[in-house]
């Protein structure tokens, strides 16, 4: 079974600065997807960024980028120019690339990010 580990229960960053959230995973599969989800106080799960394992290029979405190290099974999220609205719980998630429409996700335990003004 796949596992996802987020080793930082809490992180804080000053507004406008950069922060990196860590995630490692364990799998024997070669085809899979990795995700970062954001959960603000409203508790709505919002997809931040997605990475396909077969792609060597790191995914980027505006101020959010990942450092995907497939051999090390590491998938960190970098948030640049942090904003107050970035404060939330962040979850790393794994999905197998096989299984057709079955996109069940395995989640890490989350990192609570605080942004200080």
Partner 1 sequence: DGGITQSPKYLFRKEGQNVTLSCEQNLNHDAMYWYRQDPGQGLRLIYYSQIVNDFQKGDIAEGYSVSREKKESFPLTVTSAQKNPTAFYLCASSANSEAFFGQGTRLTVV
Which range binds partner 1 by CB under 8 A, 14-22, 39-47, 66-74, 79-87? 39-47
Which residue number, 26 or 81, has a Cβ lying nearer to partner 1? Answer: 26
Site string for partner 1, 75-114 (x = CB under 8 A): ----------------x--------xxxxxxxxxxx----
Our CA dihedral for 110, 37, 15, 10, rounded to 10 degrees, sits at 0
Which residue number, 52 or 80, has a Cβ lying nearer to partner 1? Answer: 52
- Residue 7 touching partner 1 (CB under 8 A): no
Residue ranges in contact with partner 1 by CB under 8 A: 4, 6, 9, 33, 42-45, 47, 50, 91, 100-110
């Amino acid at each position: 079974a796949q596992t996802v580990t987020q080793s930082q229960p809490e992180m804080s960053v000053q507004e406008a600065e950069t922060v990196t959230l860590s995630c490692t995973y364990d799998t024997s599969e070669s085809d899979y997807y990795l995700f970062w989800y954001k959960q603000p106080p409203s508790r709505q799960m919002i997809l931040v960024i997605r990475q396909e394992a077969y792609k060597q290029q790191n995914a980027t979405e505006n101020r959010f980028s990942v450092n995907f190290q497939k051999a090390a099974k590491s998938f960190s999220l970098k948030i640049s120019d942090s904003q107050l609205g970035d404060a939330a719980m962040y979850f790393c998630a794994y999905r197998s690339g096989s299984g057709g429409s079955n996109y069940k996700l395995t989640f890490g335990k989350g990192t609570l990010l605080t942004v200080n003004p």
